[in-house]
Chain A
Amino acid sequence: MQVDTKAYIFQLFTDLIFFYVFYNLIETHKISSRTQAINVLITPIILCLNVLFDFSVYGLYIIVIYLVIYRFKFVLPAINRLLFSGISLIFASLVTNALIVPLIDHTIKQGWNYILITQFIKLCILALMILFFKNRINALFEHQAFGYLVAFLQCLMILILYFYIQISHKVGIFNHFTLGTLIFIIIEFLFLSVLFVLIYLRTQQYYQDKIEKQQLENLRFYTQQLEQSQIELRKFRHDYKNMLFSAYELAHAGDLKGVEDYLSGLTNYSNRRLTGQTDRYQDIGNIQELHMKSILLNKFLSMEQLNINYHFECQIPVTKFSINPFDMVRLLSITLDNAIEAVQEGAKKDIKMLIYQGQDDLTIRLENSYSGKSESFNRLRKGGVTTKMNHSGLGLSILDDIRHKYQQVFISQNYKDSLFTIQIIIENET
């Protein structure tokens, strides 16, 4: 089959544009207009190369775009997005071919109409892919545990497709065997998907085990604390019986002043003995949801190790809540991590936490001292609830993610008198 040369070059050109626009649409990173301009200026060079050589030039294009946007930083999700754009374009081209080739006459030279229809169908397929896959695919790419795996599988897919197309061109069956090609891709895709699912499940299992181990560790720590306070209590009971006996003796002897002194001494003694560390763990017993309890114990342990004064209250039992327990863990762990990080900088290291199960909602209130200026607080508000440079806005993105995922979650923040407060309200499901 022959195609008009000008129309063919037009096709190559629009393919490049499709690729670039597709990538831009699934990219979550903000691209500055300067970078955008550089990328656009590069396109003609790539087009020339593409006309001279074959579509392997896209490999070069991907590398160039990556370097222009990210310089030499390693950003796995971005690599995955670029690879995915490439695969999508190849996939769309093959499907279009499969649809259109059987309908045309191979003996005559094809002109502009053929190319325009092809490109139009391709555009529709790509648009549909964006519509259906954009969020899902980005969620997958952002997943740290699977980033490498997905990148590897995508590279593999591209390589196989590349060699398949090269060979079928050489053998000369490419234009006749389009349906076969499609079936081949689908089989390959299924094969890779199965591979992915297998590895996914195994990794999931690995993380599950890790979490369980962590939970066990937290509970062990908790048990230790409980035992400790149990021992204190036993000691106290022993002393207290002796003391009551002495008081009784004094009363018997008619020494009222002596009894009064003695009892006030007893009050002091019990206040000293029984407060302190026993108090800290009193309320955690009211958190009856295990995931939540475990993450709290974990964070309290690290606060203890970092010598942070913390205070925790939960007076009304929390048995369940209206968001996924894992999202609750993410929510608590990011807010507590931020608080722990913020108090490190100041001289005062205070964290106060309140969890309150009301009739209609669950409130989580976290207060921490923060000695930074209020300006930097505003930067925090805008850029994300973290000050880590190499970590910018991850905290916010997790909170934002949860805010968008659940209608019933409200997050408010406040910074006043060196005290940063974040309050999260989760409405019960109705």
Chain B
Amino acid sequence: MFPIIICEDNKIQLEQLTTIVKNYVLFHNEDFQLALSASKPSTCLEYLSKEHPSNGIYLLDIDLNADMNGIELASKIRVSDVQAKLVFITTHDEMAPITLKYKLEALGFISKDQPIEKIRDELIENLILASARSIAVSQAKQQNFSFAISSQIYNLPLNELLFIEPSDIPHRLKIHTKTGEYEFYGKLGEVNKRYPQLFRSAKSALINVDNITQYDGPRKLISFENALTCKCSITKVKELKHRMKIER
């Protein structure tokens, strides 16, 4: 069950959105439920602290004519409902696409500057997408490598990960992926415990055996794409070869 929460300061528009959602829920009531339609962000926050909805779908305006705008409200929602699906409904000139995409992981944004039929179609599309995402997330959890930098959580597909090594800054680890690199606080041993599919090829390396491009026996050097390499300790060579054979 996905609760739907709407926050829009303009009464007429709030009414319109609520009607669209109500009509839609009427025919899909097994999946969705209209939980709240509010004109003030404070009402919305009160609801959050009282009911603690999870997996909610939130339809928000950005300019709320209140002490808080839709983006701040959304970041508060994220804290209380981690899996929240955010959809912004806003006018063209308030758009902040990168903020919405990367910082709030918004599912989508719908422009108000278009006919109501179009808004309805986009809204319904987003609702369907939201439920599909929520289901996909629970299945994909195992396939992701997740870590936190400061308060931000990153999820990288495990098959893109090449290897992890200690950073030049103490207590930090550096992740090399097919497309980039990231740093976070952690210990190789603990990471290995969480992800036993990774292989500890040396004291200072935790590798993804699937992505090895070449192993140089005499030099004990494991190569990955992008010309990245790391060491394999003598005691681990046998296990490495064994693991590589299974993969191939």
Contact = CB atoms under 8 A, between A and B. Distances in A.
Interface of A: 267, 271, 274-275, 279, 283, 311, 313, 315-316, 352-354, 356, 358-361, 363, 365, 367, 374-375, 378, 381, 403-404, 407-408, 410-416, 421, 425, 427
A121 B93 CA distance: 73
Given A358-B75, A427-B150, A415 B180 contact: yes
A371 B73 CA distance: 38
B152 A361 contact: yes
8 contacts: A274-B93, A313-B99, A316-B72, A354-B99, A358-B103, A358-B151, A412-B149, A414-B181
A273 to B, nearest CB: 10
B27 interface: no
Given A313-B97, A413-B180, 4 more contacts: A267-B113, A361-B150, A412-B181, A425-B150
B66 to A, nearest CB: 15
Contacts of B75: 358-359
Contacts of A367: 98
Chain B interface SS verdict (over half): mixed
A412 B183 contact: yes
Given A378-B226, A403-B169, A410-B184, A415 B102 contact: no
Nearest to B95: A279
Contacts of B181: 381, 412-414
B179 A416 contact: yes
Nearest to B112: A267
B179 A414 contact: yes
A365 B149 CA distance: 14
Contacts, number: 83
Contacts of B179: 414-416
A204 B72 CA distance: 41
B225 to A, nearest CB: 9
The 5 closest A-B pairs by CB, nearest first: A414-B180, A360-B151, A412-B182, A361-B150, A416-B179
A374 B177 CA distance: 13
B246 interface: no
Nearest to B228: A378
A42 to B, nearest CB: 33
Contact of B99 (A267, A275, A315, A381): A315
Best-surrounded residue of B69, B113, B179 (most CB of chain A within 10 A): B179
B151 A354 contact: no
B149 A311 contact: no
A364 to B, nearest CB: 11
A49 B107 CA distance: 77
Contacts of A361: 150-152
B226 A374 contact: yes
B92 A271 contact: yes
A263 to B, nearest CB: 12
A416 B72 CA distance: 30
Contacts of A375: 227
B96 interface: yes
Nearest to A416: B179
Interface in B149-179: 149-152, 168-169, 177, 179
Contacts of B98: 311, 313, 352-354, 365, 367
Contacts of B228: 378
A359 B96 contact: no
Interface in B178-193: 179-184
B183 to A, nearest CB: 5
A279 B97 CA distance: 13
B71 interface: yes
B183 A410 contact: yes
A271 B149 contact: no
Contacts of B79: 359
Contacts of A412: 149, 180-183
